[in-house]
Chain A
Amino acid sequence: MTGGSASSTIFIDQFGSGARHYSWPSNTAIIERYRRFTRSTKPQILSETPPPESRVYRSDRILPRWAEQTAQTIRSSIAYESRKDGRWLRPEAAIAANDFFREVADLLPGAPHLYPSSQGDVVAEFKAPYGTLTSIVSSSFVLLFAVVGDTEIERKILPTGDVRRELGSVMKPLLSGQYGDLAAEK
């Protein structure tokens, strides 16, 4: 059922039985039912109503070009049945990896080299100006491992953790070459 314009009469195209006109007020019940059916599910925000702060300041990150290709590669590597040739990803790990990249792609140094771990989790290797970063994404954690010079930096992030903050702290030495604080932290 799709609607047309309405003033004192309403035109309703009924699937299968053709278009019909309904006039007000003799067909009030039908018109009310049609209004309820076509009413928008989203709350109406009037111009006087200030939008919630979370909506005003929501960050719309600009994802790098490689992000979509990476997501596509991951999606098309999901093993929906048992595969043993070492080329496929566990579905839950693939979903977690796509969520991870959507969340932090703008912080990463470039397109990753992707491959599955022996257990089907997602391994992504990155090259940064001052070192390398390996991320392993499973359904229950993300492991970040950076090597800057002779220094290794490791972070395990649980689903409740702040992945952007953790990745940011790992990326800082990879981009600047200065890792004194992090080396001492370990």
Chain B
Amino acid sequence: MATWQPKSDEAVGKNEPLGRRLFDEPMLAGANEATSYDGLDLRNFEETRGREFSLDRLGRSGVDNRVVSYLLPRAHAAAAKFAVAKTFNGWAVLRTHKLINPPKGARLPVVASPIAGDGLAENLYHAHAILPEGGDAASYSSALHLRSYLQNTAGCIRCATTPHARSRDRAGYWQSSNASRERP
């Protein structure tokens, strides 16, 4: 069966699983030792480049392994591009309708936005949610709400706390977490 590839003009389906990339974030400079925290780091949900909250479309109706295989090297490449290189830890996943009709807060329209480019610069499965306008407090509020949706109602692919992700072998970790894919 051919890999699902959305057409450029194809709207994002309400039931499509969308993934937010999770990266290993640095600890505070003055912290002597890492305190235990098993939640998701808020920085993964802050969008510093504007109001477009970047997402990956992970399949038509469920997480598609072939799409994930396509996205994985791109995510690792993106992690290496930060001012200080980070480690890619996986995706926090939720269904599109959770953003379009959230239980609370503003509705976030989701738009397909494939990225053209050569090699790993291309991402046919890119999409973004449009965040509400506002200042710093509004952008923090959006990040907190999005993290809450993703943490509480969605599943994760290779979703783990940073210290665990650091200590595990990357390939082995990927396989072991396949079983914990999205909960409906």
Residues on A facing B (Cβ under 8 Å): 72-77, 79, 84-89, 111-119, 121, 123, 125, 132, 134, 136, 138, 140-141, 143, 145, 147, 150, 152, 154, 156, 186
Contacts and interface: CB of A to CB of B under 8 A. Distances in A.
B140 interface: yes
A89 B30 CA distance: 10
A152 B30 contact: no
16 contacts: A73-B31, A77-B29, A77-B30, A77-B31, A86-B26, A88-B28, A113-B35, A114-B28, A118-B46, A118-B48, A123-B43, A132-B39, A136-B140, A145-B144, A152-B104, A154-B141
Nearest to B32: A73
A115 B41 contact: yes
Contacts, number: 93
B28 A87 contact: yes
Interface of B: 25-32, 35-37, 39, 41-43, 46, 48, 83-84, 103-104, 136-137, 140-141, 144-145, 148, 152
B30 A138 contact: no
Contacts of B46: 117-119
Nearest to B105: A152
A75 B30 contact: yes
Given A86-B43, A150-B152, A117 B28 contact: no
Contacts of A77: 28-31
Nearest to A66: B35
Nearest to B48: A118
B29 A88 contact: yes
Of the listed residues A72, A134, A141, the one surrounded by the most CB atoms of chain B closer than 10 A to its CB is A134
A111 B37 CA distance: 11
B25 A86 contact: yes
